[in-house]
A and B are shown apart, each in its own frame.
Chain A
Amino acid sequence: GAGVSQSPRYKVAKRGQDVALRCDPISGHVSLFWYQQALGQGPEFLTYFQNEAQLDKSGLPSDRFFAERPEGSVSTLKIQRTQQEDSAVYLCASSLGQGMNTEAFFGQGTRLTVV
C-alpha cells in the first residue's frame, strides 16, 4: 500500500467494552510500533514488533492492553474493559529496518473515545 493504514479512524466505546484497533503497515516493513497520544501531548510508546516477535511491550499501561502481529504484517491492538483514561489517539508506525533507526512512517491514527 501507499502508506500505513489504520482502522477504524474513529471509535466510540462504552466504558467496560472491549475494542480492537487494526494497523496495516507498509508492505515489507520489518518493524511495527504502537504509540498512544493523549490530547495536547506527544506520542508515548506502547509496544514494538520485529516481524511477528513482540520485542518490547514495556509501554503498555496495564494488562488490559494486548497487541499481536501473528504473521509479521497486520497488527491488532486490543483494549479490554475500556476506561475513560484510555481515550486517546492510537498511532501505528512501521519502518523498513530494525527499530526506528530507519525512518518510521506513521498511520493517521485511531481516535478512541470512551464514554
Chain B
Amino acid sequence: GENVEQHPSTLSVQEGDSAVIKCTYSDSASNYFPWYKQELGKRPQLIIDIRSNVGEKKDQRIAVTLNKTAKHFSLHITETQPEDSAVYFCAPMNSGYSTLTFGKGTMLLVSP
C-alpha cells in the first residue's frame, strides 16, 4: 500500500506570510494528488488537487506543485489569513485502487 508522510506536522505563521506543506509518497504509480482541509470538529474538504500530467496548479491563494520523479507534492498558501488555520491532509492515490490514503496531517496556525 501507499506510505504517506507529511512535513511539518505543525506550522505557525504570521498573518500575511506564506506557508508550505510537503507530502512524500511511496507508490510510483500514484497519479492523483489532492489536499484536504479540516477545521476543528468539521469534515475534511477538498481544497485543491492535481493529476500527474500537470506539474503545478493554482487557485487564488493556494497552489499545488508536483515532483513525480522525487515522489513528493507540496501545498503552497500565500497571504495567509487566520481562517486558513486548520489541519491539512495530503492523500495521494493510484487510480488502479479506489480509495485515498491520507497523511497524518499538518496543523497550520495563522496568528493575526
Contact = CB atoms under 8 A, between A and B. Distances in A.
Question: Are A and B part of the same complex?
Answer: yes
Interface of A: 4, 31, 33, 35, 40-45, 48, 50, 55-56, 91, 98-101, 103-104, 106-109
B61 interface: no
A100 B98 contact: yes
Contact of B105 (A31, A42, A107, A109): A42
Contact of A100 (B45, B89, B100, B104): B100
A48 B98 contact: yes
Contact of B104 (A42, A45, A91, A98): A42
Interface in B23-51: 32, 42-46, 49
A100 B105 contact: no
A33 B99 contact: yes
Contacts of A40: 105
Nearest to A50: B98
Interface string B76-110: 00000000000001000101011111111100000
Given A41-B104, A41-B105, A101-B32, A108 B43 contact: yes
B99 A45 contact: yes
Contact of B43 (A44, A48, A107): A107
Residue with the greatest number of chain B CB neighbours at <10 A, chosen from A33, A55, A106: A106
Nearest to B9: A40
Given A31-B98, A44-B102, A108-B42, 17 more contacts: A41-B104, A41-B105, A42-B89, A42-B102, A42-B105, A43-B102, A48-B98, A56-B99, A91-B44, A98-B98, A100-B99, A101-B95, A104-B46, A106-B43, A106-B44, A106-B45, A109-B43
Contacts of A103: 46, 49
B44 to A, nearest CB: 5
A100 B93 contact: yes
Nearest to A107: B43
A91 B91 CA distance: 15
Given A41-B104, A41-B105, A100-B93, A48 B99 contact: yes
